[in-house]
Amino acid sequence: MSETPKRRWRSRIASVEAAAIAGLICALGWSVGLSGLLDAPSISATAQEISSFYENPDAGRYTLALLQLMVFATIAFLWFIGVIRNRLGDDEPKLFGTAFLGGAVSFTAILLVGSAALAAPAVLIRVGGVTPDPGAVSMSRAMAVVLLSVVAPRVATLVIFSTATLGRATGALPAWLIWLSYAIGIVEFVNFTVSAPTIYTFPAWIALVSVVMLIRRPTRRAPAE
């Protein structure tokens, strides 16, 4: 019996290729969005530098566009997570599957709150027509740095470790990517420097996993007798 168009469509959006494409969209969107949102006066900027930056009326419009990009990329990330869990099915170890899902949801919440903190001063101009106080801008930026450079990378390691373990248990990922993921996760977890490059490690890892999923057919382990 041939598949109906509706069933074929459901199969396509739940395929490995769909997950990989969603992962690439997520990685690109997060990288572009964060790069743009971080392109604002830093914590050490003077009050004059902050005021001059936010006096530009285009700052609010540009920032709102970047914030929307972050939201769309986050939706793509959740689709990436959902399709992977769907493909694993009953082969998914419950402990690591729960850590995988919980870490992913927690990371998205932290990322969106951090992004909102970066965008808030410019949105205040766009929506309220009010120039933000330089002190408030510095505090908002400091909160974003704590969330994105300190908290988010630690939560991301939970996703990286659990993905590597799931890939190892089910044969869904090649051995070299599994061990590379463990190494990246360890470095992310013990790295306590507050720097912008740390923020891009997780999107880069997602892009790598997505490319591997696109070019490699998964091999499932034979069930134990």
Q: Is residue 110 part of a domain?
A: yes
Query: Dihedrals φ, ψ of 42, to 5°?
Result: -75, 180
Range of the domain at 36: 13-215
Residue 182's pLDDT is 93
Q: Is residue 221 part of a domain?
A: no
pLDDT above 70 coverage of the chain, percent: 80
- CA 68 remoteness from chain centre: 14
Q: Is residue 1 part of a domain?
A: no
- 3-state secondary structure at position 73: helix
Residue 144: both structure tokens together: 């974003």
- 3-state secondary structure at position 43: coil
Q: Is residue 164 part of a domain?
A: yes
Please report which confidence band the pLDDT of residue 190 belongs to, taking 50, 70 and 90 as the band edges.
Answer: confident
Domain count, the chain: 1
- pLDDT digit string, tens, across residues 57-114: 677 778 888 899 999 999 999 988 887 777 666 666 677 777 888 889 999 999 999 9
- As a whole number, mean pLDDT of residues 19-48 equals 85
- As a whole number, mean pLDDT of residues 173-193 equals 86
Asked if residues 94 and 74 have their Cβ atoms less than 8 Å apart, the reply is: no
- pLDDT digit string, tens, across residues 124-157: 777 766 777 778 888 888 888 889 888 888 899 9
Q: Is residue 223 part of a domain?
A: no
Among 24-28, 88-92, 166-170, 210-214, the least confident range: 88-92
Supply the DSSP symbol for 55.
T
Residue 94: exposure state from Cβ atoms within 10 A (0-12, 13-18, ≥19)? exposed
Please report which confidence band the pLDDT of residue 25 belongs to, taking 50, 70 and 90 as the band edges.
Answer: very high
Its pTM stands at 0.80
Whether pLDDT at 183 is above 90 = yes
Give Rg (Cα) of the chain: 20
Q: Is residue 172 part of a domain?
A: yes
CA distance 194 to 7: 47
CA distance 68 to 119: 11
Among 7-21, 139-153, 157-171, the least confident range: 7-21
Amino acid at residue number 179: W
- 3-state secondary structure at position 132: coil
Q: Is residue 114 part of a domain?
A: yes
Q: Is residue 160 part of a domain?
A: yes
